[in-house]
Structure 1
Amino acid sequence: MDCKECETIKGHIFPETFFWIYLPTTEATARLKKMVECLGYTGEPLDQTMVRVVVPATGVGAFLTVLFGEFNGQELANTKIVTTRDDHLGPADMGRVFQADVFINRFQSQWIIEALEAKRFETWFQPIFHAARPDKAFAQEGLFRLRDASGTIIPPTHVFDVAGKSDLLFTADLLARKCAVETAAAAGLKGKIFINFNPSSIYDPAYCLRATAAAIESVGLKPEDIVFELTETHEARDKAHLKGILAFYRGAGFGVALDDIGSGWSGLNMLHEMRPDYVKLDMDLVRDVHKDSFKQTIVKRLLQIASDNRIRTIAEGIECAEEARYLTDMGADYLQGYYFAKPAPVLPAEESPLAKAG
């Protein structure tokens, strides 16, 4: 069984849209009716807490702006919106029910929906090197890049922040994972492939991760070639859910890495509870570590904890020779950062220097 929800990009506003709005109270219904009348739109109460509103395409922005201003955050969170092309609301339409605050964010984020539908995204790769042999790449980390209509790359942090607020994180994260897999295979990359994923984008490992596993199999990569790197773990509050994700990956033969260890005490708890195959030292901890005795104490402890538990370590964000030398001397297994190589798009297999990594 596939999870079609994550593979569907939803959210377009139709040329003339019927809004079916479910409100939390009869008082809120009365306020909405008055608001609709002031805007000059057609609004029809269907019962005490439901109103159907017809909004022309040119007026959707104004309607949502007024709606956002009229109701407070709690009311918006308890208000549901469905849109249809005509005045009929059927069972199939119920798959597009949004909280009002999410719907407003979705409307304001049409650019990301259009970019995903137009497939204006790609994966760049940044090598990870052996600390003992910094001329030899151990792995490549896939990094998602989305372009606007002019071809300009949008900062990835902004893309995923907007996707999260617009209920598009499931779709964006899945497309990013599949793109990394397909790009790595097409470029003939050697060594392990690190693929980022946000645990908040996966609500059921059995279904949400199956599409990624199928993509890996379809392009001829082996599970042992892939390491899934958990990002944004500071936002993950459900440890049992995280363990379920890791159990799925490990059961399928994939490796697991934790990102940004050392950025807070929660990172140490994650390290203890998740027992990953790899950990990445937070780049803020790496920065100028060679001349900061306090950071050195933390790094030494983290590297020792990892070594004692057979967890391999990656120091990321390295920007100078001194940082690389210190971390190598302290026992980091692998190194990554602009000092060695910046993220870059890949070429076809026969032209790609990254394919020579081993």
Structure 2
Amino acid sequence: MNKCKRCECLPQYMEQAGVLYLSPPMEPTFKSIEKALENEPFRLNQEDKNIFEIPLDGNNAKRLFRGLQRCLNDMELADTKCLFLPQGAAFGIEHMVKVTALGEFISVCDNRWFTDLLRDERLESWFQPIVHAESPTEVFAYECLIRGKSENGETIFPDALFGMARSSELLFFLDRLCRQTAIKDASKHNISAKLFINFNPTSIYNPVHCLKSTLRTIKECGVSYDQIVFEVVETDRIQDVEHLLTIVSFYKNMGFGLALDDLGAGYSSLNLLHRIQPDFIKIDLELIRDVHKNESKGVIVRNLLAIARDLGIQSIAEGVEQIEEWQWLKANGADYTQGYLLAKPSPVPPDPAM
């Protein structure tokens, strides 16, 4: 099977002056690009008159990009293929893997700091313990929570990282680097407990190829497959359930554990429960907040715990911040708990302390 170019290299951005090649998908898009370039220097390729060759440098890039965005709709930006080559570089077959969508190229150039972060692998894992509900000082597992680092050392939190990854069409690269970083950092700290590692199924195209680097990292770090639990996140964004089930089957066949995150946060996670058949469910923190004094939440969580027991699935309550919440969860049969009451996430795996 051929390699997927998305799995092999980050999209390029413009690091120096050069030539931007544009190949529009159809005649109307060709005309729209001509209109956007009416005040810009360009020529048509000698061998293929449907390909634009546009000189590009730091002085005209932003103006050119804004003109193209004004004249092309989102579909045209996605369907127009582009390639940037530094000045003096001759096109060769090796450049084919660098061909990308025009909209993606513009986004990557506009958000260069994020691409640099991925290239430099400026991520680190912070660890939060998951403890036995009956014995809250006994660590069962650690969830690996990702943080980014800016060039000046400031912490970048997940919402900013994943928001930028989506807008730049770089979700695959971020999600892959998060998995690799979690495994490497856990290995550095010699964690022997289970590791809960988030994965976003919408970022994986073909599990056999897209997860090769993750499997290689696991092998290099000497981590056993049964120590790792992959946690399905953002189930509300999943549109292709059959694709998700293919990924889940791949993980299970390899011997990894599987967890379904944020159960109860929406219809999608509940609907997936019987199809995924996870080893663990994580009950959404909004349901856990004040569960000891909110009758409606109590009924819902009590029934979720009962469903998990009946299906042979172990339960984890997230976001536990009050001792009364922990006491309620313990009394109602939760298997494990996680939250600030027990320990905050830290770059060094913390010991739980009630």
Answer whether TM exceeds 0.5 for this pair. yes
Determine the C-alpha separation between the residues in 1 that align with 2:350 and 2:126: 13
For 1:173, what is the secondary structure of its paired residue?
helix
User: Given the superposition, is the C-alpha separation of residues 325 and 183 from structure 1 closer, same or farther in structure 2, using an over 3 Å criterion?
Assistant: same
Name the counterpart of 2:94. 92
What's 2:41 paired with?
A: 41
Identity %: 39
SS at match of 1:196: strand
C-alpha displacement at 1:177, in angstroms?
A: 0.7
Q: Is the 8 A contact 1:17 1:83 kept in 2?
A: yes
Q: Deviations over 1:150-204 (max 9, x none)?
A: 2111121221222123222222111111111111111011311111111112111
User: What do residues 271-293 of structure 1 show as CA deviations (whole Å, max 9, x unaligned)?
Assistant: 11100000100111111212221
Aligned-partner SS, 2:38? helix
Given the alignment, which residue of 152, 173, 176 partners 1:174?
176
Q: Does 1:194 align with 2:196?
A: yes
Structure 2 counterpart SS, 1:159: helix
Corresponding residue for 1:313? 315
1:246 aligns with one of 231, 238, 248: 248
Matches within 5 A, 1:195-344: 195-344=197-346
Counterpart residue type for residue 180 of structure 1: A
Return the offset for 1:45.
5.9
CA deviations 1:325-353 (Å, max 9, x no partner) are 1122111110001111111002xxxxx65
| Alpha-carbon shift at residue 3 of structure 1 (Å) | 6.7
3-state SS of the aligned residue for 2:292?
Answer: helix
* Displacement of 1:24: 3.4
AA aligned to 1:41 is P
Distance in structure 2 (CA, Å) of the matches to 1:267 and 1:37: 51
User: Which residue of structure 2 aligns with residue 140 of structure 1?
Assistant: 142
Structure 1: runs of 5+ lacking an equivalent? 347-351
Q: Specify the alignment match of 1:349 in structure 2.
A: none
Cα distance in structure 2, aligned partners of 1:34 and 1:228: 49
CA shift in 2, pair 1:118/1:61, >3 Å: same
Mapped to 2, the partners of 1:264 and 1:53 lie a distance apart of 48
Q: Which runs of 5 or more residues in structure 2 are unaligned?
A: none
CA RMSD, 1 decimal: 2.1
Deviations 1:59-110 (A, max 9, x none): 2122112211222223222222221124643322221222222222212221
TM-score, normalised with respect to structure 1: 0.91
Q: Which shifted more, 135-144 or 66-75? A: 66-75
What is the alpha-carbon distance in structure 2 between the residues aligned to residue 290 and residue 334 of structure 1? 17
TM-score by length of 2: 0.92
